[in-house]
Amino acid sequence: DIQMTQSPSSLSASVGDTVTITCRASQSVNTYVNWYQQKPGKAPKLLVHTSSILHDGVPSRFSGDGIRTEFTLTINSLQPEDFATYYCQQTYSSPTFGQGSKLEIK
């Protein structure tokens, strides 16, 4: 299985900040990485697919980038509703998820 390693596992930030979460794949996955947001007690929601394509209805302050083994999710101008846990996922082979990055309010 392809391992996905996210960093940091947790981070704190303030409303208005910009944060970046990194995801590294154990082998090349081309651009087939997706990002999800999960809030407590809720199902994950798709934010970005195929590394950088914003899903319908996702605010433009979210952006994804990367290729092969290095991927990032950046959130500009954090809003209160952005505090959640974020997961990367590769679907290049049997899908696997990163361990999650919990974004908390500072």
Q: Which parts of this chain interact with another protein (CB under 8 A)?
A: 30, 32, 34, 36, 38, 42-46, 49-50, 55-56, 87, 89, 91-92, 94-100
Measured from the CB of residue 77, what is the shortest distance to another protein in angstroms? Answer: 25
Residue with Cβ nearer another protein (24 or 45): 45
Neighbours of 29 (CB within 10 A): 24
CA-closest candidate to residue 6, choices 32, 20, 18: 20
How far from 27 is each of 4, 23, 24, 87, CA to CA, in Å? 9, 12, 9, 18
Residue with Cβ nearer another protein (13 or 58): 58
Measured from the CB of residue 74, what is the shortest distance to another protein in angstroms? Answer: 19
Measured from the CB of residue 33, what is the shortest distance to another protein in angstroms? Answer: 9
Measured from the CB of residue 98, what is the shortest distance to another protein in angstroms? Answer: 7
How far from 76 is each of 32, 69, 97, 104, CA to CA, in Å? 23, 23, 23, 15
Residue with Cβ nearer another protein (75 or 86): 86
* Residue in this structure with the two tokens 């590394």, named with its chain if needed: 51
